[in-house]
Amino acid sequence: MTRSRFVALAGWLACASSGCTSTGVGNPGVSSLQLSIVNDNADNVDAGLEPSDGGGSGGMGADGGLADAAAGAPSEAGATAASDAGAAGTASEPSLPQAAIAHAIIVLGELRFQPCDASVGTVFTVPGPFVVDLKEKTTTPELSVIDGTPSGYCGIDAPLAPASSPAALAGKSVFFDGYRADGTFFLVYANMVGTLRLRATPGTAWKGTAKPPLFFWALRPRRWLAPSELDSAEVTAYDTHQRAIVIDIEQHPALYLAIRMRLAGVSTLYADVNGNGVFDDADRRAVVGLGDGNAD
């Protein structure tokens, strides 16, 4: 990405973060739910691990309107997918410092909500594309309310897609950059192809109600790369002003594929247990879904 494209993109990001685009949700239906994609910056939560008090073993009950036991819930394989997504951000490998990341943007072509029981529900598709800016905490355009289904939902498939706007991001699905500890610039700016997958924890379903419950899909860009991976990465010439670690399928294929796997693989779905519309520590005790590292 050239400096002029950086300037153009920075202007668009400033507009998005100051309210030029809406990040709310639409009008609720009779039975519906809401999804918010958030950036989990916590230092004390390892990728894919449930809270230490064990509160992530299941969802809220039916009375809470958030998650309920359902036939056809996913197997244990889905619950362990996050731990298989690579070493970044695990107990043995620290996450990137918050200050190390300058931008973390992914573009989702659509969101496909998978019913727990296909015989009584169909896939509910929310068309995009959606530009998810995890640093600025915006999703553009806004995510609409999702219609409920009798069995509830047990999964989300979200294919990456090239952005149509802003111009500086057009044709790309991932923009992730920052600086390693020695100040060396790193960059992922590519039309990465794959599908981000989220699956309900065993025995839970995401159900809609007349007052739509809110779920937080927490992504963790600090765990998309490990400090040791950046430390060992080859630095090459970049632009006319600096050298950098340019991560693409040709120059750093292993890191490129690891990031692709971790976009969803180190993510978690939480319920808004206190109903305040803000992802907070209370919500960490209501893990209702885990990311799957299989992006194919």
pLDDT tens, residue by residue, 97-114: 999 999 999 999 999 999
Percent of the chain with pLDDT over 90: 64
Residue 79 lies in a domain: yes
pLDDT tens digit sequence for 268-287: 999 999 999 999 999 999 99
For residue 5, the model assigns a pLDDT of 53
Residue 94 lies in a domain: yes
Structural domains counted in the chain: 1
Q: What residues make up the domain containing 232? A: 3-22+33-292
Rg (CA), the chain: 19
Whether 210 shows a pLDDT value over 90: the answer reads: no
Write out the DSSP string of 50-88.
Answer: PPTTSGGGS---GGGTSB---TT---HHHHTTGGGS-ST
Residue 167 lies in a domain: yes
Whether 13 shows a pLDDT value over 80: the answer reads: no
> How far out from the chain centre does Cα 14 lie?
21
Residue 28 lies in a domain: no
Residue 266 lies in a domain: yes
Whether 35 shows a pLDDT value over 70: the answer reads: yes
* SS3 sequence of 272-287: CCCCCCCCCHHHHHCE
Q: What is the mean pLDDT of the chain?
A: 81
Give the residue from 26, 38, 221 showing the smallest Cα distance to 141. Answer: 26
The 8-class DSSP code of residue 235 comes to: P
Q: What average pLDDT does this structure show over 162-179?
A: 94
Residue 27 lies in a domain: no
Element (H, E) at 227: helix 227-232
pTM: 0.81
Residue 257 lies in a domain: yes
Q: Is the peptide bond before 141 cis (omega within 30 degrees of 0)?
A: yes
CB of 188 within 8 A of CB of 176?
Answer: yes
> How far is the C-alpha of 23 from the C-alpha of 166, rounded, in Å?
16
pLDDT tier at 166, thresholds 50, 70, 90: confident
The token pair that represents 142 in the structure block: 């806004």
Residue 152 lies in a domain: yes
> How far is the C-alpha of 263 from the C-alpha of 287, rounded, in Å?
18
Whether 259 shows a pLDDT value over 60: the answer reads: yes
